[in-house]
Amino acid sequence: MSPSASQPLTKDVTEELRALVYELSRRLDEHSRRCVTELGLTLPQANALRDLDTPLTTRELAERMCCEPSNVTFVIDRLEAAGLVERRPHPHDRRARHLVLTAPGIELRHRLLDLVSRESPLAHLTASERGHLRDDLLRALDREPAVSTGPSPSPRRPSR
């Protein structure tokens, strides 16, 4: 008989869950690093490309990447020099600039996302299993699970 959802987890199960989440995180990080290196990017550059699914200001991108805008500026300078990102006028704020992926930036972003998803430690799970795992992790983090069963947006790091 399985324990009901209302029963508290034992210390052993809680420790096992902690160890499993840690190991999965380690494997995902290791896999991501290999993929990023294969594409000739740094992790911050890859994170910026991943997070620029829509035009963002430097401040918005910094919030998504959980870092200071000055650090993002350095990363964007490199991506801009490589022809992957452009700074464009913000449509509603003359003082702000939007960071926008160029055609080569969009192509590299697609290659990055495809490479990271292939042979991922989660690749052997079905789409349904990945959705359930996502929902369970969101509940564990006290966030609402997504209603949609479609692809989830870029994961956001928890705010500090």
Domain that holds residue 101: 30-141
- Environment class of 76 (CB within 10 Å of its CB; exposed 0-12, middle 13-18, buried 19+): buried
HSE, side-chain direction, 13 A CA sphere, residue 24: 11
92-111 pLDDT, tens digit per residue, is 888 889 999 999 999 999 99
Residue 5 lies in a domain: no
107-146 pLDDT, tens digit per residue, is 999 999 999 988 899 999 999 999 999 999 999 888 766 6
Residue 159 lies in a domain: no
Q: How far is CA 92 from the centre of its chain?
A: 27
Helix (H, G, I), strand (E, B) or coil at 101: strand
CATH number at residue 60: 1.10.10.10
Residue 7 lies in a domain: no
Amino acid at 7: Q
- Cβ atoms of 47 and 56 within 8 Å: the answer is no
